[in-house]
A and B are shown apart, each in its own frame.
Chain A
Amino acid sequence: MAGGSGRPLTAGVRAERGRLLVSIAQLTPALAYFALFYVGPLLVLVYISFLTFRNFQFVEPLSFNNYANVVTSETFRVLFSRTVLLSLLSAVLAIAIAYPFTYIITFVFPGRSRSLYFLILVALFGGYLVRIYAWRTILGVEGVINGTLMTLGVIEEPIREILNGPFAVVVSMVNFLVPLAVLPIYAAMQNVSPGVIEAARDLGSSRLQVTRRVILPLVLPGVLVAFAFCFIAAAGDFAIPALLGGVESPFIGNQIQFQIGQTSNWPLAAAMATTLIALVVLIVAGVALVARRVIR
Chain B
Amino acid sequence: MTTSSSATAIQFEGVNKFFGRFQAVKDLNLEIREGEFFSLLGPSGCGKTTSLRMLAGFEEADSGCILLRGSDVTSAPPNKRPVNMVFQHYELFPHMTVFGNVAYGLRLKKVRDPELSRRVQEMLRVVRVDGLEGRGARQLSGGQQQRVALARALVNRPAVLLLDEPLSALDVKLRKQMQIELKSIQHQLGTTFVYVTHDQEEALLMSDRIGIMNQGRLLQVGTPREIYGRPADAFVADFVGSLNAFDLRVDEVSGGRAVMRLADGEHVAVALEGAVAAPASTIRVAIRPERIRVTEAQAAGADTGAPGASRVGGVVTAVDYVGSLTTYRIETALGLIAAQEANDTLAPDLVVGDRVVLSWAPDAAFVLPPSIVEG
A binds B: yes
Interface, chain A (partner B; CB < 8 A) = 1-3, 193, 195-196, 198-206, 209, 213-214, 217-218
10 contacts between A and B (CB under 8 A): A193-B91, A198-B56, A199-B87, A199-B91, A199-B93, A201-B78, A202-B58, A202-B78, A206-B79, A217-B95
| CB 8 Å contact bits of B87-119 with A (1 = contact, 0 = none) | 101011111000000001100110000000000
Knowing A195-B89, A196-B93, A198-B58 touch, does A203 contact B105 (C-beta < 8 A)?
Answer: yes
Chain B interface size band reads 20 to 34
Whether B134 and A2, one on each chain, are in contact in the complex, defined by CB atoms closer than 8 angstroms, is yes
Q: Would A200 and B93 count as touching, CB distance under 8 A?
A: yes
Contacts of B109-134 to chain A: CB distance below 8 A: 109, 131-134
B residues within 8 A CB of A195? 87, 89, 91
Chain B residue numbers with a CB within 8 Å of A206 are 79
CA distance A202 to B160 in the complex (A): 12
B92 partner residues in chain A, CB cutoff 8 A: 196, 199
Judged by a CB distance under 8 angstroms, whether B176 is at the interface is no
B91 close to A198 (CB less than 8 A): yes
* Least distance between B59 CB and chain A CB atoms (Å): 11
Across the interface, B77 reaches (CB within 8 A) one of A2, A3, A201, A214, namely A201
Complex alpha-carbon distance, A201 and B56, angstroms: 10
CB of A218 within 8 A of CB of B94, answer: yes
Question: Do B79 and A205 touch across chains, with their CB atoms under 8 A apart?
Answer: yes
Please report whether the interface of chain A is mostly helix, strand, loop or mixed according to DSSP. Answer: helix
Query: Chain B contacts of A204 at CB under 8 A?
Result: 79, 105, 108-109, 156
Cα distance A213–B79 in the bound complex, in angstroms: 14
Is there an interface contact between A198 and B94, defined as CB atoms closer than 8 Å? no
In Å, the complex CA distance between A200 and B104 comes to: 8
B residues sitting closer than 8 Å to A (CB atoms) are 56-58, 77-79, 83-85, 87, 89, 91-95, 104-105, 108-109, 131-135, 152-153, 156
Which of B56, B91, B153 sits near A196, CB closer than 8 Å? B91
Contact B79 A201 (CB under 8 A): yes
What chain B residues lie within 8 Å of A203 (beta carbons)?
Answer: 79, 84, 104-105, 108, 152-153, 156
Complex-state Cα separation, A206 to B77, whole angstroms: 9
In the complex, which residue of chain A has the Cβ closest to the Cβ of B162?
Answer: A202
In the complex, A206 Cα to B79 Cα: how many Å? 6
Contacting residues, chain A, for B132 (C-beta < 8 A): 2-3
Contacts of B87 in A (CB 8 A): 195, 198-199
5 closest cross-chain pairs (CB), A and B: A195-B91, A203-B105, A3-B131, A199-B91, A201-B78
Question: How many contacts between A and B, using CB within 8 angstroms?
Answer: 70
Residue of B57, B95, B131 ringed by the most chain A CB atoms within 10 A: B95
Chain A residue with Cβ nearest B85: A202
B134 touches A1 (CB 8 A): yes
Kindly state the separation between the CA atoms of A1 and B98 in the bound complex, as whole angstroms: 11
**Complex CA distance for A44 and B93, rounded to whole angstroms:** 46
Contact assessment for B94 and A196 in the assembled complex, using a CB-CB cutoff below 8 Å: yes
Residues in A neighbouring B109, C-beta threshold 8 A: 204
Chain B proximity of A85: nearest CB distance (Å): 32
Q: Return chain A residues, CB-CB under 8 Å to B58.
A: 198, 201-202
Tell me, in angstroms, the Cα distance from A199 to B84 when the chains sit together.
Answer: 9
A214 to B132, CA, bound (A): 21
Task: Determine the residue in chain B with the shortest Cβ distance to A1.
Answer: B134
Nearest CB in chain B to that of A193: its residue: B91
Residues of A within 8 A of B108 (CB): 203-205, 209
Q: A3-B131, A199-B152, A214-B93 are in contact. List 13 more A-B contacts (CB 8 A).
A: A2-B131, A193-B89, A195-B91, A196-B93, A198-B78, A198-B85, A200-B93, A201-B78, A201-B79, A202-B83, A202-B84, A203-B152, A203-B156
A202 to B83, CA, bound (A): 8
Q: What is the CB-to-nearest-CB distance from A15 to chain B, in angstroms, rounded to a whole number?
A: 18
A122 to B316: give the CA distance in the assembly, Å. 70
Chain B residues lying within 8 Å of A217, measured Cβ to Cβ, are 95
